[in-house]
Amino acid sequence: MTARRHHYISQCYLKAFAVDRRKGSSQLHVFARESRKTFVTATENVGLERDFNRVDVDGEAPDAFEKMLSGFESDLASALERTIEAETFQTRADYEVILNFIALLAIRNPRHRESVRDIHEQILKKMLGLSLATKERWEKHERDMEAAGYKPREPIQTYEEVKAFYKSDNYKINLDTGYHIGLELKSFEAILPHLIGRGWMMMKAPKDSGGFITSDHPVSLTWRAQKDRGFFNSPGFGHAETQVIFPLSPKLALAGAFEMKDETREIPREYVAMTNGHTAIASTRQAFARDMHFRYQLRRDLGARKAARLIDEPLFGTQKKVSKTDAGA
């Protein structure tokens, strides 16, 4: 039987932030952005979407890509376990597996897919509008399609009917999941070298800090220093003076920058709160924590706040708009 529930956030990753409740079950504290609710649930219930990895290709099973990812996640689970236990990368192979995982998470989630779909929809609607500008142009478009061998499954509607449908704007243009996956793999190949080229600091949270949290989009890309950057105000993975933040566990998080060197360091608890703020804001739908003891800071001028207040934050409730950076530029 083909599995339909596909996780875009690996459960082996979320397990590090969860609490074991019973044999085979780990639970997280969830902070939901849209509903502004917090609740506890099993890791298997978050970071998933129906048929997210489904492919419809002749000669391939619908879950072929899902199975391929499962093989990678087996290596990932071991790499995460060794790295978290040692509080440093144990081997070059573990380092590469985890950076591959960060690159995948950076570009594979529902928010990014909706952004890509929306861009394609806008372009296609403009093209359709141009084709419908005059009846003569539409009839030429029909002749061109027929010459190209296009055979409609249903009778073609009249020009007036198609134009009325277009003007109603009562429709949505969707993209094939396989097309999304293809674009994501190209973005992955573009991003990965910019992750490997960075120095990585393994940040250790002090015992009195409350620790790190994660989310359904746990890769944060920010400028290292706040200053006027003119037109180029959105950071990209290839830009200097940027840092990538990725929480590994409640005790550990990675920060990568081209100007950094590889090291392990305990950071002040206020930096832990700022890291949690970046993670919360970067989330698509939900942020996750081991417990309610963490602190977060959403802006430099706000100061650190207790976990229970996150759900009421205006900045957390506002869905982050996807930029070209999110799409892997």
pLDDT of residue 202: 97
**Ranges assigned E (strand) in 138-290:** 199-204, 214-215, 220-223, 242-247, 252-257, 263-266, 286-289
Say whether pLDDT at 64 is over 90.
Answer: no
pLDDT of residue 324: 36
Residue 320: which pLDDT band, with cuts at 50, 70 and 90?
very low
SS3 content of the chain, % helix, strand, coil (to 5): 40, 20, 40
- Two structure tokens written together for 199: 């120095």
198-240 pLDDT per residue, tens:
999 999 999 999 999 999 999 999 988 776 555 557 788 999 9
148 alpha carbon, distance to own chain's centre: 38
Q: Provide the Cα torsion 144, 150, 154, 157; round to 10°.
A: -10
Does residue 89 contact residue 81 with C-beta atoms inside 8 Å? no
pLDDT of residue 321: 45
Say whether pLDDT at 79 is over 80.
Answer: yes
Which residues, including other chains, have CB under 8 Å from residue 225's CB and lie 6 or more apart?
241
What are the beta bridge partners of residue 311?
A: none
pLDDT of residue 326: 36
| Mean pLDDT confidence for 245-264 | 96
Residue carrying structure tokens 């360091």: 265
172 alpha carbon, distance to own chain's centre: 23
267-277 pLDDT per residue, tens:
999 999 999 99
The C-alpha atoms of residue 57 and residue 91 are separated, in whole angstroms, by: 37
- Domain map (residue ranges) of the chain: 5-113+176-317
99 alpha carbon, distance to own chain's centre: 15
Rg (CA), the chain: 23
Residue 318: which pLDDT band, with cuts at 50, 70 and 90?
low
129 or 323: whose pLDDT is higher? 129
Residue 245 CB neighbour total at 10 angstroms: 23
pLDDT of residue 1: 57
